[in-house]
Structure formats: structure tokens, C-alpha cells
Amino acid sequence: MSSKHKIKPNTLLIGAQKCATTSVYNWIAQHPEICGPSTLKDYAYFVNDGFFEKGIDLFEKDYINEGYNDQKIILHGCVHYVYFKKAIDRIYDFDPNVKLLLVLRNPVDRAISAYRYAKKMNIENLDFKTALEKESERLTGSLSEKSELTYVSHSKYGEQLEYLLKKFRKDQLCVVFYEDVKDNPQKVVTSIFSFLEVDTNYIPDFSVLNKTGKIKFNSLQKIVYSQNKYKKLLVQKIIDPVLPLSKRIKIKNAFKEWNTKNASDKEDYSNYKKILKPLFVSDISKTEKLLNVNLDHWK
């Protein structure tokens, strides 16, 4: 299929990390008036300088491959966009009228879930207490450290929303909550469809994706997700020329789902919850004021 105009996103799911964004993205992308390639969920275009320099025209191929047919909503997402001021600035420069979707979760639960996920993905090698103590160092570290290993700062939604709403109008932002995603997904997607001004009667398949869970085969997980110079060389010299990034993302996501089993985490985080809770009280109040909602249940 060829298009007369460039196919570029007009709606972004901007976060937050470990708030069921993968499921929400998948659910709304099923709508016949929405084109949302799975390969463009968590493709950190507006965060990663290397991706950004390639230009957003690269997205067009993914939209066409996903069945773009002049849909009203052209969707893209990355859970880290709301966290990085640089991303918000770039998004505003790209399209100051873009529609923004955001899922929020109890900040303590989100921080713990992000830690458990990082451990599962073999990108976190510290115990939770040490990881929290190292957060200030990680805030000045690599992009990967800032993105994946800063558990407390990622949960400070008030700070993030304050910067976001200095750039964008409030009516451009649709905020839903993790608790509602779990308890009443139909209500959540209907509210999003209403915000996007598409048919609100559409009912998607409500499968849940990207659960934290437990790894079935740790050795395979380490091979696929480990980062070292030899693997980078292999990707650059052999895999890149054969498999484009979009294909690699699909394969990795499929592998991640296959290699994850539902299992409860036996570690007791109750003491950490007591430590973390006071860190978010003032930020939760800021979030309440900015969104005009009551979040007493988070306090």
C-alpha cells in the first residue's frame, strides 16, 4: 500500500513503566479506527538519540506492515516518555497538538514491580535495599540505568506531570489508573476510545501481556537479554543487516511472553513498602492537584 501523505503518530502512550501499558496498548490497538503496531510500543524514539537521529519517517513501514488503512488514530508508545523531559520537549516540537495517554499506578507498588522486572530481565544485580541506595548514582548514569533502574524517581508522577502540563494542554491528556485496568478493563478502554473520538462500542480481546512473573529458563533469558561487546558486534554485523529492528522487537517480545510463567514472588516487600511510602506523600498530593483526583488510597 502506498500513502499520499507521511504516516506519523498522532497519539502517544507515554507511560508509566510497569503500569499495564503493554496490555492497554494492545487492547486499544485492536480497534478498527486505530493503527498501533506492536513494534512501536516501547520503541524509545523520543528518548534514544540514536533512534531520534534516524527520523520518524522510519515508522511508516511499521504502520503499513500493520495494516494501515487511513485510520483516524495512529498510535505509538514508550513507557519512559513521561519520565524524560527531553522526550517531552521533542514530542512537543514534533506535534504540539498530539494526544497523550498515561497509565498510573500506586507509586510504591510500581517501584517494586519495576525492580522485580529488572531482576527478571537480568539488568539488575543488586538487592532492593542497595538498589535504592544507589539510585542517586544511577540518575547520572547511562540511558539504560536511568530508564530501567531508577525505581523511586520513576514513581514521582507529580514532578513529571508538572513538566508535561507546562507544554501540553490538559485536554490533550487522558489519564487512567492501573487499579481500573485490572478491575474493569472495559471501562478503561471505553474512556480511552471516547477521548480519542472513535467508536466506544468496540470490545477488544482483553488478554494481559508483559506480566512480571517468573522466568522458565534462566540460561536462555541471559543469552537473549544480556549486554556485552560480543553480542553488540553480532547484532551490528550479522543480525542488523538481516533482521530490521521491528522484526527483532517482535521476536524478543514473543520470546519474553513464552519464557515467562505466572508465579508469586516469595520475597517479602512489606518492610520496603513502609520505607517507600513516605517518599511519595508530597508528590501524590501534587498529582492530585494537577489531575483533580483523590488518591488517598495511595497514601
pLDDT at 200: 98
pLDDT at 1: 41
If you average pLDDT over residues 19-30, what whole number do you get?
96
Q: Where are the beta strands (DSSP E) in the chain?
A: 11-13, 34-35, 73-77, 99-104, 173-177, 214-215, 260-261
Q: Which of 93, 104, 97 is nearest to 15 (CA)?
A: 104
Sole residue written with cell 513538566: 163
% of the chain surpassing 90 pLDDT: 72
How many residues would you count in the chain?
299
- pLDDT tens, residue by residue, 165-209: 999 999 999 999 999 999 999 999 999 999 999 999 999 999 876
pLDDT at 120: 86
- pLDDT tens, residue by residue, 80-123: 999 999 999 999 999 999 999 999 999 999 999 999 999 888 89
| 145 vs 262: which has the higher pLDDT | 145
Q: Which is it for the CA torsion 190, 193, 199, 205, positive or negative?
A: negative
What mean pLDDT value characterizes the chain?
Answer: 87
pTM for the full predicted model: 0.83
- pLDDT tens, residue by residue, 40-78: 999 999 999 999 999 999 899 889 988 899 999 999 999
pLDDT at 212: 46
- Is residue 9 within 8 A of residue 37, CB to CB? The reply is no
If you average pLDDT over residues 246-261, what whole number do you get?
57
pLDDT at 248: 57
